[in-house]
Amino acid sequence: MDLAFNDEQRVLHDAIVQIVTPHMDIPRSGPTVKPVEFMYADRLDHELAEGEFFSIALIDGCGLLEAAMLVYETARAPLVIEAAGSALIGALLTGEALPRPVAVARMEDLPRAVRFLDRARTLIVDMGDDVAIVSTDGLPIAPVHTMFAYPMGRVLEKVDLSGSRRLGPSAVPRLRHLCRLAIALETAGAMQSAIDFTTQYVKDRRVFGRPVGSFQAVQHRLAADLQKARGCYWLAMRAAWSDVPADAEIATLYAQRAIKAVNYDTHQFNGALGMTLEHALHFWTFRLRILQGELGGARAQATTLAETMWGDPSSVPVPVSR
């Protein structure tokens, strides 16, 4: 076992971080923060596209782990870009660099708000028994204004996918597996940044003549949140390394469960300022809010995982110890 990146991975990781870091550096609090629910990082998107980072998984010697790095690191930025749909899900599902941005949705969710659908050029649809790859050209799509820190869109009329490209039934579990990984990685990244941001805030903000972060009631909850965030990261990276469904189910279940405490605590500790659009916290926490329920949320992951791990409820009847 070696949990550090190898030389090639380190070079790639450094390159990603070098591109992403300047985009982390936006005004974080006060009237200079643009008061919007989300900011799409057009420049970051452009730079990563120029460097062909969104097709990283398709390069010889690279794959899921490299795509995972990109998804995690971009999710840490306060500004949002579409990375998981194209670099991880689209690329590994089809073996192609699909026209991006890429949105991914279950058939039944299309009339509701779908992440990135307002600007997506490709839509990947989980039809239940098949996967469709659809160009959004000519689809009746409208942006949806939400409080969530993702751009979102919805399909206005019932769409006819009968003539669309299909990947076949075997692509369905693969798509769901990759979606789980993407959720786990995005959650891990956004969560870590929300905690970092809050940690700095409670060091700076003083009440009763001392920093908020000097109260043990605050410290313990942030420390427990940090443990959860680190758990999310490592579970997600292991799942990306192994590409095993159970690992991705574990990572997503853990991540979606962790969101509740981390979101509550980080908002509590930022006080009213954290509710304003002039304070960057919501750029991460309101992404977490929507990730919390994706693919049916923790309950659905838990059900799937139980099936994967322990099979049919009555499959092993005799306890071994007595």
Partner 1 sequence: MDFGWTTSDDAYRAELVSFLTQELPNNWWDSFAYDGPSGPELMNNAGSFNRKLAQKDLIVRHWPQAYGGQDAGAWKQIIVSEEMWSRGEPRSSLYLGANWAGPAIMKFGTEAQKHRFLRPIADGEVLWCQGFSEPEAGTDLANMKTRAEPDGDGYVINGSKVWTSYAARADTMFLLARVGATGKGGVSCFILPVDAAGITVRPIPAIHSPHDFNEVFFTDVRVPADARLGEEGQGWDIVTTILHYERIGAARYEFSRRTLDHIVTHLKARGLFDDPAIRGECSKALAEVEAARLLTYVVIDGRAKNLPPSADTYVARYSMIQADHAVANLSSTYLPDLLTHDGDGMLRAHFTAAITAGIAAGAAEVQLNMISGRYLGLPHGA
| 117, 178, 185, 250: which one binds partner 1 (CB under 8 A) | 250
Distance CA 212, CA 199 (A): 10
Chain position carrying tokens 């990283």: 56
Supply the minimum distance, in Å, between the C-beta of residue 15 and partner 1. 16
What are the structure tokens assigned to 319, written together?
């306890």
**Is beta strand 165-166 parallel, antiparallel or unpaired with respect to 152-155?**
unpaired
With binding defined as CB under 8 A, does residue 147 bind partner 1? Answer: no
Task: Please count the residues of this chain forming the interface with partner 1, following the rule CB under 8 A.
Answer: 60
Distance CA 115, CA 75 (A): 14
**Is beta strand 122-126 parallel, antiparallel or unpaired with respect to 102-106?**
parallel
| Residues 159/167, Cβ–Cβ less than 8 Å | no
Task: Report the b/e string of 56-69 with b at 16+ CB within 10 A.
Answer: bbbeeebbbbbbbb
Nearer to partner 1 (CB atom), residue 5 or residue 47: 5
**Piece of the chain touching partner 1 by CB under 8 A; list 24-32, 134-142, 225-233, 287-295:** 225-233
| Residues 33/277, Cβ–Cβ less than 8 Å | yes
Supply the minimum distance, in Å, between the C-beta of residue 312 and partner 1. 9
**Piece of the chain touching partner 1 by CB under 8 A; list 71-79, 102-110, 147-155, 312-320:** 312-320
| 113, 149, 222, 262: which one binds partner 1 (CB under 8 A) | 222
Shortest CA distance to 4 belongs to which of 171, 281, 241?
Answer: 241
Supply the minimum distance, in Å, between the C-beta of residue 45 and partner 1. 26
Supply the minimum distance, in Å, between the C-beta of residue 223 and partner 1. 4
**Piece of the chain touching partner 1 by CB under 8 A; list 138-146, 159-167, 233-241, 277-285:** 233-241
* Cβ neighbours, 10 Å, residue 216: 8
Supply the minimum distance, in Å, between the C-beta of residue 288 and partner 1. 17
* Cβ neighbours, 10 Å, residue 322: 4
DSSP 305: H
DSSP 83: -
Interaction mask 177-216, partner 1, x per CB under 8 A: ----------------------x--xx------xx-xxxx
Q: Enumerate binding residues for partner 1 (CB under 8 A).
A: 1-6, 9, 65, 199, 202-203, 210-211, 213-216, 218-220, 222-224, 226-228, 230-232, 234-235, 237-238, 241-242, 249-250, 253-254, 257, 298-299, 301-303, 305-307, 309-310, 313-322
